[in-house]
Amino acid sequence: MFVCLGNICRSPLAEAVLKNKVLQANLEDYIYIESSGTAAYHLGENPDPRTTSVALKHHVPISHKAQQLNTHHFITFDYILVMDDSNSENVAKIKPSNSTSAFFKLRDFDSLHKRSDVIDPWFGDEEGFEECYQTIDRCTDELLLFLINKHHLAKG
């Protein structure tokens, strides 16, 4: 589960990028991915058009409707990955005390800038969305390797 504030920019892009990599690796029977927001600003909306544009530019199919993170997600998902410190704080407030979900910042898996925030491109232009894509692409490569190794999955 990828989490950001409104669930129309970073987290649906991360969801789409990782889903595409999982599909290419023939691991879709083992890894299920969704994204959500910590706020209810955009419930039911499609991703920001700039998110869709950058995904399609990189041949990543994207299909998503914004949803809000809730306690059910902590039962359903083994991993919760946030985009920044602010969302990390919001998720920590929502996370039930009995949750066994592992909790990471996506950039914990970054080969260049560990523990940084994934930039929020919302107020910028297409260049910010491209930078966001490049960060997510790099991090999800490492995240997928982590999942494969941790869960002994055969990469197809």
pLDDT averaged over every residue in the chain: 95
4 is catalytic: yes
Q: Which of 84, 110, 117, 120 is catalytic?
A: 120
139 is catalytic: no
Express each pLDDT in 115-138 by its tens digit: 899 999 999 999 999 999 999 999
In what side-by-side order are the strands of the sheet with 102-105? Answer: 35-37, 2-4, 79-82, 102-105
125 is catalytic: no
pLDDT at 155: 65
- Model confidence, pTM: 0.96
Instruction: Enter the tokens of residue 2.
Output: 């990828």
In the chain, DSSP assigns E strands to: 2-4, 35-37, 79-82, 102-105
Q: What are the structural domains, with CATH classification, of the chain?
A: 2-150 (3.40.50.2300)
Helix ranges restricted to H, the chain: 10-24, 49-57, 71-76, 85-94, 126-150
